[in-house]
Amino acid sequence: MNDQYIATVSVTINANPARIWHALTDAAEVKKYMFDTEIETDWQKGSAITYSGIWKGKEYKDKGTIIEIIPGEKLHTTHYSPLSGKPDVPENYVNVIYTLEPGTNTDTTVVTITQDKIESLDSLEHMKTNWQMILDGLKNVVEK
């Protein structure tokens, strides 16, 4: 069966979009909440973005491209991980989209992460758990 799933997770953060955007796009901040990942890019539409580090004892260097970037509102990248075991071809790149929207209270922001091309319900739950850990970490870093 070739059905694909989409993971979507959200969190409300007690901070304005500018503060959260800084945490999403500053390498030192990203490292604090994204499993010690080193991120490299110039944050321009069409630019390459790489993520490197160690995951479960294995070195990795994931990569992608910035598809859309609207400071304080939206970051859309593609993402490919060699650890997936799949060939490095365009159809194996997933879309990861971060959106920031005003929360219900003043100075709160709802951050949502969406990832597509998930092949099974087990993988869907796994990805939702991983993305939720990242969002929870982001919240902790930003609200300190």
Question: What domain count does the chain have?
Answer: 1
Question: What is the edge-to-edge ordering of all strands in the sheet holding 58-70?
Answer: 5-13, 109-118, 94-102, 74-79, 58-70, 48-55, 38-40
Residues belonging to the chain: 144
| 28: CATH | 3.30.530.20
Sign of the C-alpha dihedral computed for residues 39, 40, 43 and 49 taken in this order: negative
* Domain span holding position 18: 5-143
Instruction: Please name the residue that has the structure tokens 């799933």.
Output: 5
3-state class (DSSP) for residue 72: coil
**Predicted TM-score (pTM) of this structure:** 0.93
pLDDT, tens digit (0-9, with 9 covering 90-100), for 39-48: 999 999 999 9
pLDDT of 22: 98
What is the token pair recorded at 52? 């490197």
Checking if the pLDDT of 135 tops 80, the result is yes
In the beta sheet, which residues pair with residue 50?
A: 40, 63
How many whole angstroms separate alpha carbon 81 and alpha carbon 4? Answer: 18
Checking if the pLDDT of 1 tops 60, the result is no
Cα dihedral 50, 52, 56, 58 in deg (nearest 10): 110
* Confidence bin at 55 (pLDDT 50/70/90): confident
pLDDT, tens digit (0-9, with 9 covering 90-100), for 111-133: 999 999 999 999 999 999 999 99
pLDDT, tens digit (0-9, with 9 covering 90-100), for 69-86: 999 999 999 999 998 999
* Confidence bin at 3 (pLDDT 50/70/90): low
How many whole angstroms separate alpha carbon 119 and alpha carbon 7? Answer: 11
How many whole angstroms separate alpha carbon 33 and alpha carbon 50? Answer: 16
How many whole angstroms separate alpha carbon 133 and alpha carbon 138? Answer: 9
